[in-house]
Structure 1
Amino acid sequence: MRERRTIIDAGWILLLLIWSVTILFPLIWVFYESLRTNQEFFQDVWKLPSELKWSNYRKAWEAYGIGRAMLNTVYYVGASLAIGTFLTAINAYVLTRLEFRGRKLVWGLIMLSLFLPGINALVPQYILMRDLHLTNSLTGLVILDSLSESAFYLMMLAGFIQSLPKELEESASIDGASIFQTFFRIIMPLSTAGIVTVAIFKFLGLYNSFLGPFIYLSDPKKYTIGVAMYQANMIMQYKTDWVTLFAGLVITMVPLVLMYIFLQRSIMEGATMGAVKG
C-alpha cells in the first residue's frame, strides 16, 4: 500500500511538472525572443542571439506609448478596484447580515445573473454610457466597472462574512453602534482576508480587461495597456518588428508577475479561509 501511494504521488508530481512547463515555456520564449533582432528571429526562432538587444525595451516603450498606457491603466485599475471592492464588501454585508423585505428576491436575481452571458448587457450598457456622455472617458470606465457587480465576487465574500459570529454585531448594537459603525469597525477588520482575496481577483480582471476599454475608448491617448498592445499587434500587419512587440509584452507582464510573487500567500490563504468558512 505504501509503494502504491509513492507511485501515485510520483505520477501527480510528474503531471504538475509537465503542467508548469506548459505555463512557463511561452513566457520564457517571449522574453528570449525580445532580446534578439528581427533578422535572427526570422532566420531561426531557437538559435541563441549573438548579442542581447536590451534596446528593444526602450524602443517598445517609446513606439507603443507604454508609459502613457501604464498611467491610464493605473488610474483605471486603481479607482475601479478601490470603489468596486468597497461596494462588493458592503453589498455582501447587507445581503448576508441584514434582514429586510425582498432580500431573498435580490439573492435570486443575483443567482440568475450567473446563467446569463455578460455579452448580452453590452449593447444596453453602451447606449446608457453614450447617453450619459461617458464614452471615451477613463472616468466613465471606472464608473461602469465599479457599479457592475460580479455575482462571483459577491458570493465569495458573502460566504466569508456569513461565517462570522452574529454575537459580535449584537454586542455592538447593545453598545449603541450603528449599522455603518458595525460594518467598518467589526465586519471589515474580521473580513480582511476575504476582502484581500476579492481585491486580488478584481485586480487581475481589471488589468487584463480588454473588451470594455476597446469599445468605450476611441482616443489613443486614453488607451489602457491591453488596448495599446492590441494596437501594437495590429501594426504587425504592415511591419515585421516582432522583437519589439515581444519586448512590449514582457513589460506588460511585469506588474502581474510581481503581484503574484509578493501576494501569492495572500491569495492562497484568503481563498482557503473563504472556502472553509463559507
Structure 2
Amino acid sequence: MKMKTVIDVFWRGILVIWSLSIILPLFWIVYESLKTNQEFFQNIWSFPEKLQWHNYRQAWVSMDFNRVILNTLYYVGTSLIIGTFLTVLNAYALTRVEFKGRKFLWATILISLFLPGINALVPQYVLMRELHLTNSLTGLIILDSLGESVFFLMLMSGFMQSLPKELEEGAFMDGASLFQVFRKIILPLSMPGIVTIAIFKFIGLYNNFLAPFIYLGSEEKYTIGVSMYFANQRMQYSSDWVTLFAGVIIAMVPPTILFIFFQRKVMEGATLGSVKG
C-alpha cells in the first residue's frame, strides 16, 4: 500500500511539472504582451509597471486580423464541414456496410499510417499546380477536405463498431434504405464521436501552417498561422516584440475557448469508441 502511494505521488509530481512547463511560458507571454518595448528589452522577467492594453489594439491593426480571421474562418469552417462529413461517411462504409474487398481496402488504409505524410507533398503540389488551385483558399479547402486522416477514420470507425447492429437490421426490415439508416440512426447515435473528431479537426486546421504556407502566395489570402509566421519574420526589422506577443495571445483565443467548452465531449467521444456493445 505504501509503495502504491509513493508511485502515485511520483506520477502526480511528473504531471504537475509537465503542466507547469506549459502554463508558465503562456503566463510569461501574457505579461510580456502588456509591457512597453523599452520594459521588455530592459528586463524580460520583470512585470510591467503599467498594463499596456493598447498593444492588443496595435496587434489587431498591424497584423490585419480582420482579414486574416475571415480567411481562416472560411478555410477552417468549410474544410471542417466537408471533411467531417466525408470522414463519417467513409467510416460508415468501412465498418457497417458489407461489400467485396472491404477488408483489403481497410488494410490498405491502415498501411498508410507507416508512410510519412511529407512524402506526398511534392506530388500534391504538382497536382494542385496543374489544376490551377495554388494560391487559392478554395483549392486548399479541396486538398484538406479530400485528404482523409487515418487517425480520424480509425476513431470514428471504432465508435461506430460499438453501435448495436440490431438497430440497422430492424430499420432494414421496416423498409428503410441505406441512406435513411445512415441519416436517422447512425448519425444521431454517432454524435459524440462526430463532435470529438470535429474538435480535433478544427484545432488541426486552425493551427495548420505548412499547407497554407506552401500553397498561398498572396498576403491577402493568408490564414492565421502564415500571418503569425511573417509577423515573426518582421521582428528582425521592427523589434516590436510586445505587439507580436499580443498577436500570439489573440491567435490562441479561439481554439482555447472551443476546448474549454467542449473538453468533456472530447473525453467522452474518445473513450466511448473503445467499448463495444
Q: Name the TM tier (shorter chain).
A: over 0.9
In the other structure, the counterpart of 1:121 is 120
Kindly indicate whether residue 219 of structure 2 is the aligned counterpart of residue 220 of structure 1.
Answer: yes
In the other structure, the counterpart of 2:241 is 242
**What letter is aligned with 1:218?**
G
How many residue pairs are counted as aligned between the two chains? Answer: 277
CA offset at residue 115 of structure 1?
0.6
Q: How does 1:142-161 map to 2 (within 5 A)?
A: 142-161=141-160
The alignment partner of 2:52 has SS state of coil
CA offset at residue 57 of structure 1?
0.6
Kindly indicate whether residue 250 of structure 2 is the aligned counterpart of residue 231 of structure 1.
Answer: no
In the other structure, the counterpart of 1:274 is 273
In the other structure, the counterpart of 1:111 is 110
Q: Distance in 1 between matches of 2:174 and 2:40?
A: 70
**What letter is aligned with 2:75?**
Y
CA offset at residue 74 of structure 1?
0.7
Which of structure 1's runs of 4+ aligned residues deviate more than 6 A? Answer: none
Is the 8 Å Cα contact of residues 162 and 275 (structure 2) preserved in structure 1?
no
CA offset at residue 165 of structure 1?
1.2
Bigger drift between 209-218 and 128-137 goes to 128-137
Q: Distance in 2 between matches of 1:160 and 1:262?
A: 22
Q: How does 1:21-100 map to 2 (within 5 A)?
A: 21-100=20-99
Q: Distance in 2 between matches of 1:246 and 1:54?
A: 12
CA offset at residue 18 of structure 1?
1.3
TM-score, normalising length: structure 2? 0.97
The C-alpha deviation readout for 1:87-129, integer Å capped at 9, x for no partner, is 0001000011111122122112101110111111111111111
The alignment partner of 1:237 has SS state of helix
Task: Specify every segment of 5 or more residues in structure 2 that has no aligned partner in the other structure, as ranges.
Answer: none
Q: Distance in 2 between matches of 1:46 and 1:275?
A: 46
Kindly indicate whether residue 269 of structure 2 is the aligned counterpart of residue 257 of structure 1.
Answer: no
**What letter is aligned with 1:265?**
R
Q: Distance in 1 between matches of 2:276 and 2:60?
A: 45
TM-score, normalising length: structure 1? 0.97
RMSD of aligned alpha carbons: 1.2
Q: Distance in 2 between matches of 1:85 and 1:103?
A: 21
**What letter is aligned with 2:155?**
M
Q: Distance in 1 between matches of 2:82 and 2:245?
A: 33
**What letter is aligned with 2:245?**
F
Is the 8 Å Cα contact of residues 161 and 273 (structure 2) preserved in structure 1?
no
In the other structure, the counterpart of 1:166 is 165
Q: Distance in 2 between matches of 1:178 and 1:148?
A: 28
Q: Distance in 1 between matches of 2:258 and 2:142?
A: 24
Q: Distance in 1 between matches of 2:63 and 2:47?
A: 26
- The alignment-based identity, stated in percent, is 65
CA offset at residue 10 of structure 1?
2.4
CA offset at residue 272 of structure 1?
1.4
CA offset at residue 188 of structure 1?
0.8
Is the 8 Å Cα contact of residues 162 and 274 (structure 2) preserved in structure 1?
no
